[in-house]
Amino acid sequence: MTDLHGRIISYLRISLTENCNLRCIYCKPDQCTTNNSDSMTKEEIVSIIRVMAESGIKKVRFTGGEPLLRKDITEIISEVSKIKGIDDIALTTNGILLEAKAKELKDAGLMRVNVSLDTLKEERYRELTGGDLKNVLKGIAAARKEGLYPIKLNTVLINNFNKDEIEDFVNITVENDMDVRFIELMPMGVSAGWIEEEYLSSEEVLKRCPKLEMIEKDYTASPSLLYKLPEAKGRVGIINPISNKFCDSCNRVRLTSSGKLKLCLHSNEEIDLLGALRKGKNISDLLKKYILEKPETHFLKEKKYIDKDMYKIGG
């Protein structure tokens, strides 16, 4: 599928649920409610991915909410791994349940995993998320053991929260063959309210770790600029949707857990693909029509923010 701006769309991020077992303060604060009654079933997820694969989607990433809360995730991955044309299946998780599930996920066909981790300090982790850091570390160890490779740790930079841990995160890569990726906090939903105070440009990483050397990107459409410390086993990625937007090379679309297609993370517009599927419409034709309308760019610099938090879309 190619959009009107010549971008080839080959990557689908699909949310399996809005539910989450953490309450990260910039994403899913306590008062947020979740309605999962309209979630896609396993069969619907597989049907939609099959149609998307026929239209050129090659890579699928499962996310949420917390995708490991979905009881049928292993079956979903197993079914999707059999779909012709899908050659990369990845997962984004907070890692809390990963220790118990890593083996069955790998056996089902999961290839790689990104684990979200914004602090290496137990107390801070509890304060930010309400969860226990030890479980995440056990999850990462289990994923490594099962050969879910490469493991990427995703760290959202938050000015008054983890600026002082940047060096510690970078130093993880010295002895570990892992990617540590710093992601700029994006204004959306609840985080839009404190972006002025808490946004930290990823430039801060390079300022604090001047020995980082830029290396070649994995592939052109990757949003991550890659760096390495001399002699390090792992790499450091920087994803800066705000200070250096990468819309020109965006190759992705998203599907919410209720089956709404989002052509751009930062647009409020959603297309009810699941509704169309349930009405028996040809969603392949719909996809081809709507893909053309993928917005050329986001408007974060112009302060046009979306209303939803990430857990409602799929991060």
CB of residue 4 to ligand SAM, shortest distance in Å: 27
User: Which of residues 186, 232, 263, 300 is near ligand SAM by CB under 6 A?
Assistant: 186
**Cα 2 to Cα 288: distance, rounded to the nearest angstrom:** 9
73-81 vs 98-108: helix crossing angle, rounded to 10: 20
Q: Of residues 252-281, which lie at the interface with ligand SAM (CB under 6 A)?
A: none
Residue 133 vs 186, nearer CB to ligand SAM:
186
Give me the residues paired with residue 8 across strands.
Answer: 2
- Options 86-94, 102-110, 164-172, 297-305: segment touching ligand SAM (CB under 6 A): 86-94
Residue 154 vs 290, nearer CB to ligand SAM:
154
Q: How many residues touch ligand SAM (CB under 6 A)?
A: 20
Residue 9 engages ligand SAM in binding (rule: CB under 6 A): no
What is the identity of the amino acid at 269? E
Residue 20 engages ligand SAM in binding (rule: CB under 6 A): yes
Residue 154 engages ligand SAM in binding (rule: CB under 6 A): yes
Pairing between strand 260-262 and 271-272? Answer: antiparallel
Nearest to 82 by CA among 45, 43, 106, 109: 109
Binding map of ligand SAM across residues 164-183, x = CB under 6 A, - = no contact:
-------------------x
Residue 93 engages ligand SAM in binding (rule: CB under 6 A): yes
Residue 156 engages ligand SAM in binding (rule: CB under 6 A): yes
Residue 223 engages ligand SAM in binding (rule: CB under 6 A): no
In this structure, the dihedral spanned by the alpha carbons of residues 164, 224, 16 and 176, taken in order and rounded to 10 degrees, is -60
Q: How many CB atoms lie within 10 A of CB 40?
A: 24
| 151 close to 181: Cβ distance less than 8 angstroms | no
Residue nearest to ligand SAM (CB): 315
Instruction: For 90-118, give one letter per residue: b (16+ CB within 10 A) or e.
Output: bbbbbbbbbbebbeebbebebbbbbbbbb
CB of residue 138 to ligand SAM, shortest distance in Å: 16
| Chain residues in the site for ligand SAM (CB under 6 A) | 20, 26-27, 63-64, 66, 92-94, 116, 154, 156, 183, 185-186, 188, 191, 310-311, 315
